[in-house]
Each structure stands twice: as structure tokens, then as C-alpha cells.
Structure 1
Amino acid sequence: MGDFRPLGFLLGLPFALLALILAIVGAVIWLIGTILSCLCPCCVCCAALANLAMDVVQLPVRILRWFIDEIPC
């Protein structure tokens, strides 16, 4: 609880909302990439697309943590 910065959390919410929208898009891309890689296992690019989408899904948490760490108080 000593690392909680309410001002940083409130200021980071708009960025987190944008990242959440990107995460939803990433989840859809991941689902499509997973289905395509199951249908055609020779498509290596579909697996790479699914891995990229998983990074986008984790983006909201990364953005909030980065923004909170940047606030000095």
C-alpha cells in the first residue's frame, strides 16, 4: 500500500481506457490468429500475429504501471 499513488492512478485512467480498447482489438486479432494457425499449421505468420496480439492485450496494465511510476509524489 505504500507504493499507491492516487494522483497518478487518476491521471493514467484516460490512457488506460485507450489501452483497453487496443486490448480488445488485440484479443480479437489473437482469436483470429489462433483459429487460422489451427486450421493451417504451416502458417507461421498466424502464430506471430497471435503473439503480437497477446502483447497488445497486456498493454493496459503496462501503461498504468508506467504512468504511475512517472508521478513523483
Structure 2
Amino acid sequence: MGDCKPLGFLLGLPFALLALVLSIVGTLIWLIGTILSCLCPCCVCCAALANFAVDIVQLPVRILRWFIDEIPC
């Protein structure tokens, strides 16, 4: 069967839902950071805030992949 881990997906769903909530928060932070960096381009911290928010948005996929990789087949 190779790399098939069907239960890993089902067991990882609660973690993915938690990460999805975090990604929604990250999206809101990204929007605020983008708007602030457009209003004041000299503000470097807003760009760092937007980059941090992008990492939070990518979190659900990372968590789900990590969880599936940890389950032995």
C-alpha cells in the first residue's frame, strides 16, 4: 500500500480545524498589516506583521501533513 494513511487524515481533522481558526485570525492580521503598510510605507513592522500572518495562514496544511507523517502505516 505504500504511503496510504487513511486514518491519519481522520485523526488529524481536529488539529486541522484548530489550525483553520488560527488561519482566519492570520488572514485578519494580514489585512490589517497590508492596509497599515500602504498607509505608511516607512513602517517596517507592518510588513513583518503581514509576513507573520502569512505563516499563520499556511498553518492548517502544515499541521495536517505533520500529523499524517507521524502515524505509522
TM class, shorter-length:
over 0.9
Post-superposition offset of 1:2: 4.7
Where do 5+ consecutive residues of structure 1 fail to align? none
Where do 5+ consecutive residues of structure 2 fail to align? none
1:40-51 maps to which residues of 2 (within 5 A)? 40-51=40-51
Aligned residues: 73
2:60 is aligned to: 60
Given the two structures, how large is their TM-score scaled by the length of structure 1? 0.95
CA deviation profile, 1:20-72 (whole Å, cap 9, x unmatched): 00000000000000000000001100000000000000000000000000000
Given the two structures, how large is their TM-score scaled by the length of structure 2? 0.95
The 1-side partners of 2:37 and 2:2 are apart by 45
Which structure 1 residue ranges, 4+ long, deviate > 3 Å from structure 2? none
Post-superposition offset of 1:3: 2.6
The 2-side partners of 1:23 and 1:4 are apart by 27
Q: Equivalent pairs: percent with the same residue?
A: 88
The SS at the match of 1:21 is helix
1:72 is aligned to: 72
Letter in 1 for 2:22: L
Over the residues paired in the alignment, what is the CA RMSD in angstroms?
1.2
